[in-house]
Structure 1
Amino acid sequence: MKLMNNLFLFLICFLWTPSAQDSSVVELSKNMFESHQRLNLASLDGWIFKEGNSPNRADPELDVSDWKSFRPVELS
């Protein structure tokens, strides 16, 4: 019985892997394009920013917890 409890606990911990990144994904569709074939991204939430350049930013496991969240209309 103790083995089953430990196995159950292990599976719960293993399968529940929280992600530091926002999991919401915006899917682009044909309807999102304006009449002049432009796509308005300014109204979409979920943009993040960190000043500088780094070669490891293509890493899917990149820690973005200290990046600034904003909307493009907040840029000045």
Structure 2
Amino acid sequence: PVVDGGGIRPGLERWAIILADRAQPGIFAEKRVLMAPGLNHSGLVQALSRHTKAIRYADPIVYFGLPDVPLVGARSTLEQVASP
């Protein structure tokens, strides 16, 4: 079988956040996080969302040149843009 690692990446990203939090407890607590890019880092976003609710996505701003206005960097907006 041909494997591209697409299933491994989210698991490794979640594991990295767990290890970082164990090494320095509270490192991600109540922080504001900017994901650039966030489209292909679902595991990282899931792990970080356990520690903070303030996650913004820079994908629309970076890829489409949109201004930084409210809801442009929201997860719901990113999912609408990324859906087929």
Report the TM-score when normalising by structure 1.
0.23
Tell me which structure has the larger Cα radius of gyration: 1
Kindly indicate which of the two structures has a greater share of residues assigned to helix.
2
TM-score norm. by structure 2 comes to 0.22
| Higher relative contact order, structure no. (Cα contacts within 8 Å, ≥ 6 residues apart) | 1
